Amino acid sequence: MSRRHLFSAFAIVSLVMMSLVSLQDASAAKTRYVFGGGPAGGTFQVVASAIQTYKPVKDIKEFSVKAQSSAGSIENLRRVNAGKSDFAVVYSGHLYQGRKGMLRHDPRTYNKVLAVGYLYGAPAQLVVRKGAGVSSVEDLQGKKVGVGNAGSGAFANCELFFTHLGLWGEIERNAMGYNDAAAAFGNRQLDAFWLFTAFPSGAVIMASQTNSIDLLSLEIPASHSGFYKKYPYFTKVTIPAGTYRGVDEDRQSFQDSALWVANADVPDEVVYRMLSLVYSDEGIAYMVSQKKNFTGMSIENGVNGIVTPMHPGALQFWREKGVL
């Protein structure tokens, strides 16, 4: 190869290398924000993945969003507080307890986690066998009750509610997942089982195929016992008649809210822009296309279930929308 050709080849290689360096520099300059979800296949992870893959979010030039799986609400609370995640999904109750140092077996406070917006509700559902003489929570004394997996949010909220009513020690508790509980209920190994999840639940539908079921109304014992006053992050919810076969009247219950949260150090303009994209008509339609749980997402419901401080960027957005 001649010296001139060698020089030309060297120049081309140099230009390619400089272009690659420029691309790396541009990539490095683009801030990445981590969005904490949950276990694979769970609704928390669907939230994080949906926001990451929503095209208007992907098209943002100044920053990117990366979904990251986690164990769920409590881990997300801790990771956001530590700055290991920038955004995440956390139950309103865990956020409330965490900011006040009230988490079970964890007295630390998590004050760097701020609410951004309401995503969806997780209602309490208590399934009983129709005609079995169980018409109220008090009637479950001495009965076998599925209370959710040990360590789960369902179990924790079941313990919280029944303890508040003075009944936790009065029932025969069986810690198991929803599908296992529905199967045990169908085999008459349980008299009732508890869920804390969106409706309609596949486990309840399964139980209704082998038994005549009913749902207990939980709102009256909650109201009369001061449950909402003590735990203000729970809100009232109606499970409509016909949601499950054989349950032909509305049932009143309560729910916790799954919230979008952010670390306090995330810039206000980033939170505001993300909300503007995700809570647009197109953004909400995209979220609902990913999972029907998100049908409750709306501007009107944007601050539902939030009883803790909000991120300044979120405050600006919701005030402009007239819901604060």
User: pLDDT tens digit string along 292-314?
Assistant: 889 999 999 999 989 999 999 99
Task: Find where tokens 């009143």 sit.
Answer: 252
Looking at residue 8, what is its pLDDT?
52
Answer yes or no: is pLDDT of 128 > 90. Answer: yes
Answer yes or no: is pLDDT of 104 > 90. Answer: no
Q: Is 252 exposed, middle or buried (0-12, 13-18, 19+ CB in 10 A)?
A: middle
Bigger pLDDT: 71 vs 305:
305
pLDDT tens-digit profile of 181-208?
999 999 999 999 999 888 888 889 999 9
| Residue 149 CB contacts under 8 Å (≥ 6 apart), including other chains | 155, 175, 176, 177
Looking at residue 201, what is its pLDDT?
87
End-to-end CA separation in angstroms for the chain: 73
CA dist 132 and 271 (Å) reads 51
What are the CA-CA distances from residue 200 to residues 116, 203, 206, 217, 239 (Å)? 27, 9, 11, 16, 9
Contact (Cβ atoms closer than 8 angstroms) between residue 150 and residue 174? no
Looking at residue 151, what is its pLDDT?
64
Contact (Cβ atoms closer than 8 angstroms) between residue 234 and residue 222? yes
Looking at residue 103, what is its pLDDT?
86
Answer yes or no: is pLDDT of 155 > 90. Answer: no
pLDDT tens-digit profile of 210-269?
899 999 999 999 999 999 999 989 989 999 999 999 999 999 999 999 999 999 999 999
Looking at residue 3, what is its pLDDT?
52
